[in-house]
Structures are given as C-alpha cells and as structure tokens.
Amino acid sequence: MTDHRAAAQPAPFDLAAAIAEGDTLRLAVRTALTGRRITLPLRYWLQSAHLTAPATDAAMARKAVEGGTASVARMLERLGLTGDDLADRLEISRDLVGARLA
C-alpha cells in the first residue's frame, strides 16, 4: 500500500515571507491611493454612535433626537477641547455651538 499522507501535507509556512508580501502589497495600495486622499471637514468624520430609540415610541424618539448631542460636551472635555474649538473647526458661530452644548 502507498502512504498518501506525505503528499497531502502542506508546505511549511514562511511567516517572514508572508509579512514581507503583505507589506509590499500594503505599500502598493497606499501608493495607488495617494492621489485619492482628501481632508474632510469634521462633520464628515466617523460617526461612532447612533440613536437607537425605537421610532414607534414618539416620546422616546423625540427625547433621542432633541437630546442626542447631550454627550458631546463631555466628549469634548475628555479630549481637552472646548465648544469654541469645535465651532472654529466647523467654521460656524461660537454662540451657536455654545447654545447647543448648554
């Protein structure tokens, strides 16, 4: 009988070669995308939270929409930013931002 187990075994994995190939591909993609980079205004940055209030409960939906930005002031404070910093970055009135954060 012939032992087929030896033929079915994969070749040893070369981690260093795989890392080098991944780095080469990553750099090629980065180079290819260089002309497509853009600096977006803050308002287009990643939204990492969303409203989850059920739309069928009108009172809860209203509270979520009206108070949906209540945590922004705390987030800014944790980052060492102020409402004025946010207003300047968004190029809008400091009074408007201050009123919304109050």
Per the domain annotation, does 32 fall within a domain? Answer: no
Per the domain annotation, does 34 fall within a domain? Answer: no
| Number of independent structural domains in the chain | 1
Q: How far apart are alpha carbons 98 and 68 in whole angstroms?
A: 16
Per the domain annotation, does 83 fall within a domain? Answer: yes
Per the domain annotation, does 31 fall within a domain? Answer: no
Give per-residue pLDDT as tens, 49-95: 565 656 677 887 777 777 777 788 888 989 899 999 989 988 899 99
Q: What is the DSSP string of 21-42?
A: HHHHHHHHHHHHHGGG-----G
Q: Which domain holds residue 84?
A: 42-101
Per the domain annotation, does 16 fall within a domain? Answer: no
Per the domain annotation, does 15 fall within a domain? Answer: no
Per the domain annotation, does 61 fall within a domain? Answer: yes
- Whether pTM > 0.75 for this model: the answer is no
Give per-residue pLDDT as tens, 9-38: 666 788 989 999 999 999 999 999 988 888
Element of type H or E holding 60 = helix 58-66
Per the domain annotation, does 58 fall within a domain? Answer: yes
